[in-house]
Structure 1
């Protein structure tokens, strides 16, 4: 049972019972198959990388709380944890998403980081399982930037647990093969349309929609892109991303000359088009 909890198998099955029917009822692309290409790889990501990420987050939390005990006055952490749970969850969402925005934008702007993030963007058919495909370096850096302040400030365990449930469900929804209209709220809350445009392999969508929950952050920083009711024509990247689990983990560390790319400086640096991927 402990192993199943660590791997998150039960949670994954529950999510499947929710999102598989939802993708049939509100299908954005009805022709897309449930067992689409690369699904098996994403299941491995969900179970194996998911367990590894849980361990890393636990260690982050322990380290941050240990440092907080020495550096943050007790009255501050007590005031933070003493707030109503709903208010703490709201504050965590805002604080964490500012961290996600900053780290996510860095992964697009810095060539060395993009090579890790390109694994997530390599998916050409988006569905709820696509949310799990991310290189561990990408995940660890993003979680550290977004969650260490949360652990450090002393938010209650109940509010943090509630945040993780909301964040996980929202992440799966953003990647899901669904058509949902958020109306005017699209400027405030990240919608599937908002995040699908982030994955679009179309030049007008490059480097847009970095937030994971609050689209208003992108609106404030000038990176919001949701063109009316339109959806992207295609997803993916203009790079030869390996299709297998092991190959994807090694991809960021392989020189471009070994991947049939250009030689010289371009052998280790992405082209401008690749740096500007969205």
Structure 2
């Protein structure tokens, strides 16, 4: 067993063990801990099978890590969490009928999203990464906390977005346009929705960079010093609500169908992870058609020439139309990531959440 694989054993055991424990808690308290919008996307049997896999994986990987004397503490945390999950019923916990509620946490969404993201992207980045980055890199706890908050609070974020967009969507009446859009084939609606949303997002994204009050929120996202699949989760909660509202609003006003909007939501979730991922694959001419890792990595470059470039998240043509397209033709990648003035962004999610409300200042404990 090579060194790199050995180093993943304790971290994997810890991950599977803690996620299994959270999964068991979701079975015990489905009304409070699972998202009503997300429950319909998976079956109870699927959740049970995934939970059983997580428990077995945690025990096996943790045992191997202890025997090989690799990360004993992390391995024991994983095995301990899995043991508690088993004592609480494991994958056999009965789910009693429960009354739906509008207010609940999306712990199930967090567990499933983190499980599949980690299983897919950690091995890919290990073998195809532009540079070798440890899973436990500097700032990973902060980014994982942002990942947790954004997923667990998904229902409250949706409520906030609805409150902001619904009154405007009702006030703007475009029956002719809405009828035309609704009559388009699904795939045309999907592509059109992605383009319209990308254009709205790019305009707002430019404002984030050019308006100092907005930049203080967006600087949190740009403060990651390493780029990988988890780095894109570092987004201030205010920016999350504002961006989703601005992007969703034109889709509602123009009358795109619910299936088309749902398909777009899936696309933006996947592409947001891929665009930040540490994947050094050369895509050639595709980089000029679709936003891929190298394109978005240059947007995050700690380089003055790219601070105001590459705002699109789906289609580079949006930046071409806005005059903000810039991509080296030699296939090179940025040497460094982060905000230009590192001392202006503090470390940790609590300090970063408060940062935009404290005005322009410098911090001793900053992201450098």
The question of a shared fold, defined as TM-score above 0.5 by the shorter chain, is answered with yes
| Greater mean alpha carbon deviation, residues 246-255 or residues 57-66 | 57-66
Q: Distance in 1 between matches of 2:160 and 2:360?
A: 34
Structure-1-length-normalised TM-score: 0.85
Q: Distance in 2 between matches of 1:51 and 1:150?
A: 25
Q: Which deviations, in whole Å up to 9, do the C-alpha atoms of 1:235-268 show, x marking residues without a partner?
A: 01223222111001011122445747xxxxxxxx
**Which residues in structure 2 correspond to 1:3-82 (within 5 Å)?**
3-5=33-35, 6-7=106-107, 8-9=109-110, 10-30=112-132, 32-61=133-162, 64=165, 68=169, 71-72=172-173, 74=175, 76-82=177-183
Q: Which residue of 2 aligns with 1:202?
A: 303
Larger gyration radius, structure 1 or structure 2? 2
Aligned residues: 259
Selected match of 2:349 from 245, 254, 272: 245
Q: Which deviations, in whole Å up to 9, do the C-alpha atoms of 1:181-205 show, x marking residues without a partner?
A: 2212222211100110001011222
Where structure 2 has 5 or more consecutive residues not aligned to the other structure, the ranges are 1-25, 36-105
1:13–1:226: structure 2 CA closer, same or farther, 3 Å change rule? same
CA offset at residue 118 of structure 1?
0.6
CA offset at residue 75 of structure 1?
5.5
CA contact (8 A) 2:169 2:249 kept: no
CA offset at residue 48 of structure 1?
1.3
CA offset at residue 69 of structure 1?
5.2
Matched, 1:102 2:203: yes
CA contact (8 A) 2:193 2:251 kept: yes
1:71–1:201: structure 2 CA closer, same or farther, 3 Å change rule? closer
Q: Which deviations, in whole Å up to 9, do the C-alpha atoms of 1:146-195 show, x marking residues without a partner?
A: 11111233322211111111111111011001112221222221110011
Structure-2-length-normalised TM-score: 0.65
CA offset at residue 66 of structure 1?
6.2
Matched, 1:124 2:228: no
2:342 is paired with a residue whose SS is coil
